[in-house]
Chains A and B, each alone.
Chain A
């Protein structure tokens, strides 16, 4: 009986939305299917079969070859090293700054925030040439630090912007209660604000991880020694005038994308609640 009532009450608008979401999901998913299938095919099979035809015999050798050809030994380590240092460090700096701007009395807070938000408005492409000159003058070209510092500089402002508005939405009585309970600002940040900000932090962590992991342009400008290349630069080895090893190229792409997908899958639960938590807090 209940099922019948539910069936008759189905909202056509909702159904339409659901269907269009499904179509969009398929459109987004299709290239991934194409890449995975192609990464498991031999070169002749790629030329003779359709793009979405499942591979006949699984050519896993593509992965091993791509790993060696792309210099993934180094590239993978470099990407992991840069990301693992940059993402948590950037988030921590952003969270501390956002807390200070939102909760510590200072007449310059608004100006500083404005200055920081201004930083998010400059497209980094415009900054590539001056950035290279700066990094070069500091003698940091081809170093991890030379890459991590600009990553931090371009990543932190938008994180501060988002965290600042979240911290502002936390009732001020909460920090006052902590203050009376004997907490310093740092303790209030660590013991009260950080735990209740975890969903937002998880969302920012995913976004930042993916952005850092996939970053290409800045790495290309700053890292010239192939041993220091990150994964997206490693993919360049598969592009050549006479090269048509699509199987290897796609295997390399799968290997490059996989960690970001894994991080997303692990944290997506928090990511969703992080997107909505700001809306429901008074």
Chain B
């Protein structure tokens, strides 16, 4: 187990710059998730940590060692790939045993380690099977088994759940998290799925276009996104944004949208009157209310999506399209007008030009 320090790491493919100076500190035993849309450079960064890609500039340190020029096999890391990358001609046991054999470990210790890993992952009855005889979930477990038998300093996961169906993904998610808690091995996990990131990580690194947009705990990212990109990326459905400016209202300064919809400023926000801002609030931070209640906003329904436990409603607030998630069942239909009340204590203000958070 070890900490990982990524300092000003850059990656170019010829003239194309893919990663532009990334800094991340990962503590010993921490579970860090790199998340971002396709092409943001998260997998490239992981592969650079693994030693599968050259590092154009900067420094990657695992423990006390700078590993820029250390080959993959000597970095003491283990990686789980998206497509499992199991050796098709080897049994489950042989797959797990392969790296130990290459290390020159004695047969007794190898068997002990494989048995222990198989026990942890429930692979005991499958040890003699070939990868083609396993289901997707079992293959994923074998890939993890292959990683944990090595007892590495760092686990690297490259979108390991994206080939599984939704139900299995949820199961494996908690299994990986439980496994990491048990082994306490530093883990770097790449995904494009923000739910995976939120549920598993101790710390999330949100990336876009080769740059770290924000690096924080899941709840801090959710509660205090640094910019509109992070605000929109974390949370499902996405945060609602309405453009407008700050104007004096009956009870002091308030937000007025371009359509003239007035909303209370978020708690603690005090931008000067006249400032152009983007008002952000999450769909789940909006309540249903009755007409006439202070701050109630009329909104016309464009679509209702009941999920059973909650109802997702797409609305027009003036001309702005917003989404709301309510615990209540909605009987109104398309075209009907309901009244909603965004919670100003959980709303956000952003600079419309830079996208940065103002509060």
Give residues in A with beta carbon < 8 Å to B.
171, 173-174, 176-183, 187, 191-192, 195-196
Contacts and interface: CB of A to CB of B under 8 A. Distances in A.
Contact of B81 (A173, A183, A187, A195): A173
Contacts of A181: 73, 98-99, 102, 146, 150
Interface stretch (B83-91, B188-196, B325-333): B83-91
A2 B237 CA distance: 54
A171 B85 contact: yes
Contact of B102 (A174, A183, A195, A196): A183
B88 A173 contact: no
A179 B73 contact: yes
Given A173-B81, A187-B102, A179 B87 contact: no
Contact of B85 (A177, A187, A196): A177
Given A176-B52, A196-B88, A182 B102 contact: yes
A180 to B, nearest CB: 5
Interface in B64-110: 71-73, 77-79, 81-83, 85-89, 98-99, 102-103
Nearest to A197: B89
A150 to B, nearest CB: 35
A175 B73 CA distance: 12
A192 B82 CA distance: 19
Contact of B50 (A178, A180, A182, A196): A180
Contact of A180 (B79, B82, B83, B87): B79
Per CB-CB distance, the 8 closest pairs between chain A and chain B, nearest first, are: A181-B99, A173-B85, A177-B85, A182-B102, A182-B73, A195-B89, A173-B81, A180-B72
B28 to A, nearest CB: 21
B189 to A, nearest CB: 16
Contact of A192 (B50, B87, B103): B87
A173 B150 CA distance: 18
Interface string B138-164: 000000001000100000000000000
Residue in B71, B81, B83, B86 with the greatest tally of chain A CB atoms within 10 Å: B81
Interface residues on chain B, size class: 20 to 34
Contacts of B72: 176, 179-180
Contacts of B71: 179
B93 to A, nearest CB: 15
B13 to A, nearest CB: 13
Given A171-B83, A176-B81, A183 B89 contact: no
Contacts of A191: 98
A232 to B, nearest CB: 38
A211 to B, nearest CB: 28
A185 to B, nearest CB: 11
Given A176-B85, A180-B73, 7 more contacts: A171-B83, A173-B81, A176-B79, A177-B146, A179-B72, A181-B98, A196-B88
A231 B129 CA distance: 47
Given A174-B85, A195-B89, A196-B88, A182 B103 contact: yes
A174 B87 contact: yes
Contacts of B51: 179-180
Interface in B22-73: 50-52, 71-73
Contact of A173 (B77, B83, B146): B83
Contacts of B146: 177, 181
A174 to B, nearest CB: 5
A187 B73 CA distance: 13
B60 to A, nearest CB: 15
Nearest to B71: A179
A177 B50 CA distance: 10
A195 B98 CA distance: 14
A278 to B, nearest CB: 15
B102 A180 contact: no
23 contacts: A171-B85, A173-B83, A173-B85, A176-B52, A177-B86, A177-B87, A179-B51, A179-B72, A179-B73, A180-B52, A180-B72, A180-B73, A180-B77, A180-B78, A180-B99, A181-B99, A181-B102, A182-B102, A183-B73, A183-B102, A191-B98, A196-B88, A196-B89
